[in-house]
Amino acid sequence: MVKKRVNLDNEDLWNIVTKTIIPKKSDKISPVDFLIGDMNKKINKSEFKKKNKKVHSKSLLQPPLQTLKVVKNIPSDLRYEEAIGIDGTSSKKLRAGKFNVEAKLDLHGMSQHNAFLNLQTFIKKSFSNQYRTILIITGKGKEGTGVLRNKLPVWLKSDFCSPYILAFGQAKEKDGGSGAFYIRLRRNRSQS
């Protein structure tokens, strides 16, 4: 027996398909969207916490290297150009650009997502290579309002980067000025 082909126009077919669809109910904001941010819409922390009681960010990004031991008592308040655990002399040296820069990362032209992932990888590799001072170049952006330049301090304070960072501050003009940052890394005592 030969089956007859039913000839439906696109609109009829679409109506049949849409009647069988059950919309997914979710108003949660993904952790990546929150960290990287959508420049057209502002999300505040309280809104994020209300909508996302439990965030599974480990599945989104690579876990820290297994061989590294990271200090567990990390200051939660890592501020621009200052940090608990760095003495005044070292803080002044960092701001003055007196430390030897052992590695550089240029984020020019990258999307926010790629820049954040490259930053994480670079910081972890620098830490495992026992570098202490690194330079991150973000660029200044148009009229000094660069997206990466403004996001970098937020990313450095995130749970993904802060375990490796002792302090950070704006670079001197010779190293990029307001479009670059010095980052002082913690000591990697696991490979001493």
Q: Predicted confidence band at 3 (pLDDT cuts at 50, 70, 90)?
A: low
Q: Sign of dihedral through CA atoms 139, 112, 147, 100?
A: negative
d(CA 44, CA 176): 31
pLDDT of 97: 81
The 10s digit of each residue's pLDDT in 22-53 is: 766 666 665 555 555 544 455 555 665 555 55
pLDDT of 129: 92
What is each CA distance from 106 to 140, 149, 174, in whole angstroms? Answer: 12, 12, 15
pLDDT of 135: 93
The 10s digit of each residue's pLDDT in 124-137 is: 999 999 999 999 99
What is each CA distance from 142 to 2, 35, 67, 86, 139, in whole angstroms? Answer: 68, 22, 41, 33, 9
Most confident of 6-15, 55-64, 155-164: 155-164
- What are the domain boundaries of the chain? 1-60, 70-191
Fold of 70-191: Ribosomal Protein S8; Chain: A, domain 1 (3.30.1370)
- Residue 57 pLDDT > 70: no
Q: Within its chain, how far is the Cα of 58 from the centroid?
A: 13
- Residue 67 pLDDT > 90: no
pLDDT of 141: 81
pLDDT of 117: 93
Lowest mean pLDDT among 25-29, 57-61, 108-112, 127-131: 57-61
**pTM (predicted TM-score):** 0.57
